[in-house]
Chain A
Amino acid sequence: MADMNLRKEDFEVVGKDLKSSEEIVRKSLTYWQDAWMRLKSNRVALVALIIIILMVGMAVFAPMMTEYSYDEQNYDVISQPPNSEHWFGTDELGRDLFARSWQGARTSLFVAFVATIINVTIGVIYGGISGYFGGKTDIVMMRIIEIIYSIPRLLWVILLLVVMKPGIKPIIIAIAITGWGGMARVVRGQVLQLKQMEFVLAAKTLGADTGRILLKHLIPNTMGPIIINLTFQVPSAVFTEAFLSYLGLGIPAPAASWGSLAQSGTKMILLYPHMLLFPAALISIFMLAFNLLGDGLRDALDPRLRA
């Protein structure tokens, strides 16, 4: 203890300073701020998010960027490969594939988002009720999902086409019917787990009714898994739409979707590969980006990984 700089005054007793000990030095971060910080630091997910935003932006604005409309036929420029005039080339009827691809994006994305919103709404409510009430209600509700799931998607579309005209509507309905079960199961599992947690019991002890417990306590704590599930549903809906259109069960001409473009491109694959290449690439990039974003979100939102 050869510290010469210390003086007697330094050893004046000042006592406790409890206020400062109870102070919280960390910045206050909400769940979403925290998740956003995690997502931001994940390069891959961030790039994926930017790609998705760009593609959605293109779907909205690209048709305005080109002078060609998606259904205008021009027999002078049939089946041209990509060039400075027609960036993605033209099809066998001389329609501009750039315009058609982004018009197709509009259709595909519209189908995907609408179907996903329906899925989420039904899934969350259904799963929430099933998990919260549990017991016999739960058993019956889960069996109903299994029955719906036992009928393949394709069959639903074919059945729907018996009573409806082909187009966007039956596809959306088919995706919605066969898609919400997954979401319902996720929500149910979460709710089953959460309703045993002490903060839910505390709310019950305070006299909270079912609605309050579901809306204030259970659903907000399920948002993470809901969003993760949602990001995986969107690409799956895009794929389903493409798949159905490819089989000819989807959007009829002259309307375009990524699936229908790919289908007509396939016919020409040996002569004009670009007709398949562009819509196929768009589908792949979009699905890949969404899946990567989903992975990133899972890391960012999963409370088990929170330090």
Chain B
Amino acid sequence: MSENKNEKLKNITEKEDVLLNVKNLQVSFDTYGGEVKAVRGVNFKLDKGETLAVVGESGCGKSVTAQSIMQLIPMPPGRIKSGEVWLDGRDLLKYSDKEMEKVRGKEISMIFQDPMTSLNPTMKVGKQIMEALIKHQNMSKSEAKDKAVEMLKLVGLPNPERRAEQYAHEYSGGMRQRAMIAIALSCNPKLLIADEPTTALDVTIQAQIMDLMADLQKKLDTAIILITHDLGVVADVAKKIAVMYAGVIIEYGTYKDIFYNPKHPYTWGLLLSVPRLDVKKDLRLVPIEGTPPDLIAPPKGCPFAARCENAMKICKEKMPEEIKVNGSEEGEHFARCWLYHDLAPKVDNPVTKRRAKLNE
């Protein structure tokens, strides 16, 4: 009991600028084939106004994590097995549906990959922004309308007055994503979760949207969780990066840590497998061979072991803990990898090696 109290006290007295603190989140889906352990113990913190990128391939649990924070997991088949999601000192997982409704859209907003399916096709775009404002901010209709136009202008839509009167199908893909961002940001949320916001868009539009998000963050000081499978996309905007694999965060650090001194072999793989436009052609890509494990029966050891060149006996036996590595300034760079155990053999870091080669 007293321990519980201490825990609570700790949460309140914790560093003031921590906005979101996710602790040991575990989410499963019950299917006919058995229990799919989609998220298997995720911990991370997010400061106010900070951008965290969650990177991983499809099925690694990154979207499920985000949806659990919002409590958008369909239950059943979904099930939040354990964990805490502290937002400003309140555990959201203890909230009822009704209470969550006041959090969603007001304190945390979310944008999705496909803006067409997340906009209501039968309602004018301006009206969709007004809805949230009237609900959460108690605005009058005319106030909300002005604010809606202002939001559309903020996200860079030309002719916002006219655009507010149009329907989603009259917008192009990029404009729809802008409209989604306008809706998401209309109530000044503390946290914006963007789930693959540019994956469905063309490169030139993707650049526009990422630019806009970085710009808006500066203006509005909203914290952002950016979920993506492409490390390249987040190079510009992320401050912290969490790399997820098979339902766990296998490496976490600042963007400098992850790009320039990554520690987990999977992160190495992610960085070495993408072609570089700014590098001469002939370097053969180093793919991450194999396929991620099916989370209906995750391996008992490290989930990446089967695809890892450096796998050791222990990797197949035991899941590694979070090991602090390399003490970067903030000292929050960790990797879940046995290579950083005292007894493990030393391994060359192929990412720093390649970098050195490129700089020659």
Residues of chain A having any CB pair with chain B under 8 Å: 1, 6-18, 20-22, 24-27, 29, 34, 37-38, 41, 307
Contact = CB atoms under 8 A, between A and B. Distances in A.
Interface stretch (B171-179, B189-197, B275-283, B304-312): B304-312
18 contacts: A1-B323, A1-B342, A6-B341, A10-B314, A10-B317, A13-B310, A13-B312, A13-B345, A14-B316, A15-B308, A16-B306, A16-B307, A17-B311, A18-B290, A24-B294, A25-B294, A29-B33, A34-B32
Contacts of A24: 294
Interface in B279-303: 289-294, 296-297
Query: A-side binding surface: helix, strand, loop or mixed?
Result: loop
Given A11-B343, A34-B32, A20 B306 contact: yes
Contact of A8 (B31, B311, B343): B343
B356 interface: no
Contacts of A1: 321, 323, 341-342
Given A6-B314, A16-B311, A307 B77 contact: yes
A54 to B, nearest CB: 27
A17 B306 contact: yes
A38 B32 contact: yes
A6 B313 CA distance: 11
B306 A18 contact: yes
Nearest to A20: B306
B33 A26 contact: yes
A27 B344 CA distance: 37
B33 to A, nearest CB: 5
A100 to B, nearest CB: 45
B268 interface: no
User: Chain B's interface: helix, strand, loop or mixed, by majority?
Assistant: loop
Contact of A16 (B77, B289, B344): B289
B135 to A, nearest CB: 30
Interface string B319-330: 001010000000
B312 A11 contact: yes
B338 interface: yes
B326 to A, nearest CB: 15
A176 to B, nearest CB: 38
Given A6-B341, A21-B293, A26-B296, A16 B309 contact: yes
A10 B292 CA distance: 23
A26 B305 CA distance: 20
A14 B291 contact: no
B310 to A, nearest CB: 6
Contacts of A15: 308-311
A13 B293 CA distance: 20
Interface pairs A-B: 9 shortest CB-CB: A21-B290, A21-B306, A10-B314, A17-B306, A18-B290, A25-B297, A11-B344, A11-B312, A25-B294
A14 B311 contact: yes
Which residue, of A1, A13, A26, has the highest number of chain B Cβ atoms within 10 A? A13
A37 B323 CA distance: 43
A11 B294 contact: no
B321 to A, nearest CB: 8
